[in-house]
Amino acid sequence: MPFVLISTGTWCISMNPFNKTALTAEELNNDCLCYLQYTGEPVKASRLHAGLEHELQVKRIAEHFSQDILRYKNMSFDPDITHKLYSNTPANSSFNDFVFHKRNMEDFKSDSEAYHQLIADLVDLQILSTRLVIKGSVVKRIFVDGGFSHNSIYMHMLANGFPDMEVFAASMAQASALGAALSIHSEWNSKPVPTDLIELRYYSPGLID
């Protein structure tokens, strides 16, 4: 089944190997590019500098509320907070136009509220960025790996932003090395490929109305 992979870290890169359309001027202007598979086939991708922005703004939240920055590593998703904030996220006129740094910390009653708003702002842009590479293809699944795949707030909001798709957090140790090994598996290994190489967690939409 066709899918998009969002690889998250300092950069959040949406990759769609099932989109065969040529890059347009609009896509190029919004930081889209094509990677190459080992077979030489292009993989259309879009990039968002969300990981760095997250790091900078988490420090700002922690300093304002006098909290340990590690508190946000495993903060739980709170649908009640998200319900209040989600519709309050301003529309973004361009990609990588991060808005949270313009927000006044005094507007938030708690650091949890501020952090949920930060993730809502980032996910709004991630949805726009990912849609660039979905357009022109029939994609039904989104897999997220990297840092944000472990962030339940991010994953729940992303799933709500793509209600017609199946959204999964994916975890695979040494993914790059394993991918290289799998690409030449038939040349060096006579054993079947294990079926449990990837750990998946499904996130359903609907918790944010």
pLDDT above 60: residue 67: yes
- Of the chain, the percentage scoring pLDDT greater than 70 comes to 83
| Rounded CA separation 116/153 (Å) | 7
pLDDT above 60: residue 201: yes
Mean pLDDT along residues 34-56:
93
| Rounded CA separation 125/167 (Å) | 17
Q: Is 146 helix (H, G, I), strand (E, B) or coil?
A: strand
pLDDT above 50: residue 93: no
Q: Quick one: pLDDT at residue 95? A: 64
Q: Is 205 helix (H, G, I), strand (E, B) or coil?
A: coil
Largest separation between any pair of C-alpha atoms in the chain: 62
| Rounded CA separation 113/98 (Å) | 18
| Rounded CA separation 209/191 (Å) | 48
Mean pLDDT along residues 29-49:
91
| Rounded CA separation 6/149 (Å) | 9
Q: pTM, whole model, 2 decimals?
A: 0.87
From edge to edge, which strands make up the β-sheet containing 199-203? 32-36, 42-48, 12-16, 3-8, 141-146, 166-171, 199-203
Q: Quick one: pLDDT at residue 208? A: 57
Average pLDDT, the chain: 87
User: Which pLDDT band, with edges at 50, 70 and 90, does 122 fall under?
Assistant: very high
Higher pLDDT, 199 or 208: 199
Q: Is 201 helix (H, G, I), strand (E, B) or coil?
A: strand
Exposure of 208 by Cβ count < 10 A (0-12 exposed, 13-18 middle, 19+ buried)?
Answer: middle
Q: Quick one: pLDDT at residue 199? A: 79
- Name the amino acid, one letter, at 96: N
